[in-house]
Amino acid sequence: MTSPAESFSYASNGIKRKRNGELFSELYDLTSESEGSLSSKPAADDTEDAYRRPSSDDADAQEVVISWPDKTGPEHCGAQGPAFDTEFDDIAAHFTTAAAKVVNNIQDHHMASHRFQATLGKAEQLSQPLEMPRRHIAIVLAKALSSGARVTNVAMSAGAPMPEQRKEYAAIVVFLHTKALRLKIVGWVSSYQAWHSQSPDEAEGLHAVEQAATSAFNAISGLVGSRFQSEEDLHSFLKGNDGGKIVSIWKALLSWFEELIVEATPSGLLEADTCEELHTLLEPYTETTSAPALWPLVQLIRVGAKGCDILHSMTFADTSGFDDTDPNRAGAYKLLIADYDEILLVVDMKRIGSEDTVPKFLRDYGRSAKRITLIGSRSDDGLQEHHENLGLYKLFHAKALEDGDTHQLGELARLKGHLDNEQRLRATQTSLARKLGASSETSSPKRQKTSSSEFDKSSVPSGDLHRSHQRLEQIEAQLTEARQATHESLVACRNNHNVRSVHEQYDEFMRAGEELLFQPVSSAHFAARQEYRKEVFPCLPTEATGILDVRKDLYDSLGRARLQTLHNHIYGEISPFADGLALLVDVNSLCGRDEAVGLLETARLAYGTLIEKYETDLDLSIQDVLVKPLQEGRELFGQHARQVFATKSETWDHRTLLAFMLKYGNNETKKQPKEVWNDQFAEPMVTAARQQCDVFETQFTLLNERFEDKTLQLFQGLSCHMKAGVIARVRSRWNYGNAESLLDQGRYASLIQGHTEGISELTEGFKVAALNRTRGATADALVAGPNNHFSRAMKPAYRRCARTKGKNRVETCIRLLETHLVRLDDSSPFIVTGQMLGEDVGSAVDADLTNLSGSVYGRFNMIGTHLDAMFNEKNAAEGEVALRADLKSLLPEVDKAIADSKYRLAELLKKYEATES
């Protein structure tokens, strides 16, 4: 069996490239370099260690480059399907004309009656173009995840043009809010003073503490250094040498930072005609060389682009700082993707199996609700030398035999044929070159022509010489084709091998029944084929680069969302509107009005009771499943944590221990490699908590299903009771004098059914959104690293250590940490973690529940308006008879528009079902 690292094939001698972030631009197509690019690049920093960014010469350096072309429709990127089907817009717009006529009729009659005003408001809404859903894609670069350090990236998202945007590109700069500024200031000042309070003996070995202090000073100096006459004055201020207490230092910095934000906030959009111009406008907010260097105060930059079709339907965000050790910046990135639909985890192919980057990320987020696609970049690299390619063939063949992979064995048979053919042609080329007396580089696709002075013409007859030259040129042409065929076949086999290995190793991190999506890509070869980058050889065909596959997957996801949105719009919005309009124009005096209204009010009150019970059941489930188990296990968890800490305190030297304790247990020294103590302390608790999260998810799903069923029953009951005879006979007032007639029960039932379907879609959306948020909340709470809940619960102990002085400082700190780990009261870090987890899960549901209940009550109100319009008033308002007559004349057109929309939607569904099958 191969090791995890060996399971993934990657030759390390490939061509080094300066950038690996082109994928971000290519997801919505590339533009030529002459057109420019907007780069969300890390700002430079003069400090070697503090906020260091990868060198441009580093083969692993990753830089996100955002570029927009003029055209990115399906004809330009190979995408097919509902994402770009114009039939969507045609169907959605089909009803707007009829709705606009309803609007005009009501407005022309100047009818102020609230029943007609409610109809007018809904008609105005339906007369507007349907807003199709957007997909929000978060780009996570694994380079940032594996660094475990601070980064200077400013989070950036790219999406549709902004409403007030006039030029091709525009940006909005979003600064940190006051609370985040306070946290940042406290962190900076604490880091600075933690280092400068050390004695010379203690300072030795505290490299990370010094680095944090240097980073903090550089950031503060870049922002407010101009307020001080010299660096020494700023140092004195931060140390408190001028008599200032730490609180006064915090307040002063907060005041200065807020002044900077007010001064630096643009009065409007930052707009430009080209990417280069926009990049220049953004430099003050992204570069450390700016004065002041504002980038630490920037939370997010939103960019809108007019020239890219895909950005009208998708938003991409660079989240390179996702694992930043600065909790403010890490939190900003997590908030950025909290509502995002998908995550693209971009990893250099050679690092997928050789480092802990992928399992670390999937361990934390693989079981969340986000749709995660692993993008293996540089799939073309490292396939240069024939003998190494042959070695890869043997590795792949052995693995395919072991797995019984007949498809891969067939691909490998073709690869072996290409390798043998290439080897034969190389041998022939070498023989002919030697015969001609030339020195030829067999690895170059363009051979240097042999000059006549390099061989003895008299030794070779002129006819033979000419034929040898011709033969050599033929062989070189064949070799070029053979190398291309070998390269394509080898990349395909390696991709198959890596896809299988990814699923074997990483599917365990996903939820039951789910597998990790994995797509190898070659950005450079795609760009070369599109003539956006310099030519490379051998060069993969466009369809073999994987870029179109990634894009198609994103488009398919968008297309499914568009289909669902259009279905919901027709059946849950347009259809009940038309039914209500039909009942409005045929005004009836309803026998049993009180009973009908009573049914509606009873259902409304029952829904309120249903929400209260849901909230009570949810709170009980959170407490019983998530909070109490951590509370009850605190003693066992504490014993494990104390044992882990005792091993360190008994074997490590005091300087190393102090270095870690001053960095909240997250550090590395010359003697000790990087460790995160809190993750080690909390390991059994996290394992137990994740198991309980699975239990909670099961209960939560059942709770939501019961809630949905009971909600739908309330609405369905309105129609059922009517059919049973509560609403039976009616007297027509407007068109039939005092004659008795039956209410159009079918139309009323259709009205209720339409609202019921709308409620069904709302509750389905609630179930998905609430489950997604609870999964995200539990993932964020238990994620490994310095920013999880347990690390926050441990901070009081570490802070007391930082404030401890004296000869026995290390021993005192050891006792403080041990005591905190094993405490059994409500301040136990394990109890605090459980409480924060429960609060996060509850809060995650609250917002969605509030939105759902508001929408459901809105449906109740709409039905009440229809009932009121039918039989609330004995006498018609002035002009009401004429308005009803005009609206009634429009009803056939409205009904036909709905029928046509339903038919065309059904045909659209058939088309894509046939395509998928």
Helix (H) or strand (E) holding 257: helix 246-264
8 Å CB contact between 869 and 583: yes
8 Å CB contact between 234 and 225: yes
Q: Residue 604: pLDDT band by 50, 70, 90 thresholds?
A: very high
- Average pLDDT of 890-895? 88
Helix (H) or strand (E) holding 730: strand 729-732
Most confident of the ranges 344-353, 632-641, 707-716: 632-641
- Average pLDDT of 332-345? 67
Task: Tell me which residue has tokens 């063949």.
Answer: 397
Q: How many CB atoms lie within 10 A of CB 500?
A: 17
Report CA torsion sign: 156, 162, 168, 174: negative
CA-CA distance, 276 to 118, in Å (whole number)? 49
CA-CA distance, 497 to 509, in Å (whole number)? 20
CA-CA distance, 351 to 4, in Å (whole number)? 11
8 Å CB contact between 648 and 703: no
8 Å CB contact between 570 and 93: no
Per-residue pLDDT at 532: 60
Count the alpha carbons within 13 Å of 750 in the hemisphere toward its beta carbon. Answer: 18
Helix (H) or strand (E) holding 377: strand 371-377
For residue 254, pLDDT beyond 90: yes
Token pair for 864: 């009440």
- Average pLDDT of 221-232? 89
8 Å CB contact between 216 and 328: no
**Which tens digits make up the pLDDT trace of 801-840?**
988 888 889 999 999 999 999 999 999 999 999 999 999 9
CA-CA distance, 246 to 462, in Å (whole number)? 92
**Which tens digits make up the pLDDT trace of 389-434?**
777 888 888 888 888 888 888 888 898 898 888 888 888 888 888 8
Beta strands 342-348 and 371-377 are: parallel
For residue 383, pLDDT beyond 60: yes
The strand pairing partners of 529, in sequence order, are none
Q: How far lies 268's CA from each of 39, 162, 166, 283, in Å?
A: 21, 12, 12, 17
Per-residue pLDDT at 613: 95
> What do you get for the CA distance between the two ends of the chain, in Å?
38
Q: How many CB atoms lie within 10 A of CB 147?
A: 18
Listed by start position, the domains of the chain span: 386-510, 588-875
8 Å CB contact between 703 and 614: yes
Per-residue pLDDT at 338: 60
Strand intervals (E) in 660-707? 666-667, 675-676
For residue 726, pLDDT beyond 60: no
**Which tens digits make up the pLDDT trace of 614-646?**
999 999 999 999 999 999 999 999 999 999 999
CA-CA distance, 468 to 449, in Å (whole number)? 13
What is the overall mean pLDDT for the chain? 75
Question: Which residues, 6+ apart, have CB-to-CB distance to 129 below 8 Å?
Answer: 89, 92, 93, 96
CA-CA distance, 452 to 489, in Å (whole number)? 38
